[in-house]
Amino acid sequence: MVSLNSEKMIVLASRSESRKKALKLLGLKFRTIPSKIDERGFKEKRPELRAKGLAELKASSVAKKLKNAVVIGADLIVVYRNKIYEKPKSKSEALAMLKSFSGKTVTVVAGLAVVDSSSGKMLSTVEKCKVKFRKLTDNEIKEYIAKYPVLKFSAAFDGNAALMFAERVEGSIAFYTGIPLNELVLFLRKLRCLK
C-alpha cells in the first residue's frame, strides 16, 4: 500500500480491468477517464517506441481536459517473430494467434506515461518481459477463449492466460498487470503524489 501525499486527482486513462485492479492493489484512489485516441493512426512500428508513444498520447490527451490532476496512460504490445500482435478481430483469429504461440516465446512490451496536468510535466518509460508458452492443447485454448474477453487483449491473451499457459516468464511483471507498477510508484513520488 502507498500513502497519498497530494490533493491532485489521480486519473487512469484506460478502461482496462487489469490496470484498475493494479491501481487498487497499490491502494490508490483514482478516477477512470479512458482516452479516445485512434491507435490505428499512430504509425510507429518499433515495439518499444510504439508502446511508450501510445502511453504518452493516451495520458496527454486526457490531461489536456483536466486541471490539478495526474494522469496515468499505459499501453501493452505483444511481439512474436518481429511482428506486433494487435487485438484479434474475431475468436477464430484469437485461436490462430494462441496456437501460433504454443511452445514459443513472445515478448510483452509495456509502456507507461504519467502527466501532471497543472505543469504539463510528463514521465514515461517502457518495460519488457518474455513469456515462454508451454505446448498448448486445442481444447485448453478453446476453453480460454470461451471464458475470457479475448477480443479486448493484445495478441488474444491477458495476464491470467500468461500465468496459466507460461512455462517461464522473464523480466517485468507488467505482463500481468498491464502496467509497470514499480515505475508507476516512482513516477508518482517524483510528482509528489505519494509520500
Instruction: Tell me if 154 is assigned to some domain.
Output: yes
pLDDT for the residue numbered 159: 86
Instruction: Tell me if 195 is assigned to some domain.
Output: no
Instruction: Tell me if 168 is assigned to some domain.
Output: yes
Annotation says 116 is catalytic? no
pLDDT for the residue numbered 44: 87
Instruction: Tell me if 182 is assigned to some domain.
Output: yes
H helix count then E strand count, the chain: 7, 7
pLDDT for the residue numbered 43: 81
Q: Which amino acid is at 150?
A: V
In DSSP notation, 50-105 reads HHHHHHHHHHHHHHTT-SSEEEEEEEEEEEETTEEE---SSHHHHHHHHHHHTT-E
pLDDT for the residue numbered 195: 65
List CB contacts of 46: < 8 A, sequence separation 6 or more.
Answer: none
Q: Which of 62, 59, 76 has its CA nearest to residue 177?
A: 76
Q: List the domain range (segments joined by +) for residue 90.
A: 9-190
Instruction: Tell me if 110 is assigned to some domain.
Output: yes
Instruction: Tell me if 87 is assigned to some domain.
Output: yes
Instruction: Tell me if 62 is assigned to some domain.
Output: yes
pLDDT for the residue numbered 138: 95
pLDDT tens-digit profile, the chain (195 residues): 444 455 788 999 998 888 999 999 899 999 999 998 877 778 888 999 999 999 999 999 999 999 899 999 999 999 999 999 989 999 999 999 999 999 999 999 999 999 999 999 999 999 999 999 999 999 999 999 999 999 999 999 988 888 899 999 998 888 788 899 999 999 999 988 876
Q: How many domains does the chain have?
A: 1
- CATH number of the structural domain spanning residue 53: 3.90.950.10
User: Which grid cell is 5?
Assistant: 501525499
pTM of the model: 0.90
Of these residues, 38, 75, 138, 158, which one is catalytic?
75
How many angstroms separate the CA atoms of 20 and 7, rounded? 20
Residue 77 and residue 47 in contact, taking contact as beta carbons nearer than 8 Å: yes
pLDDT for the residue numbered 39: 77
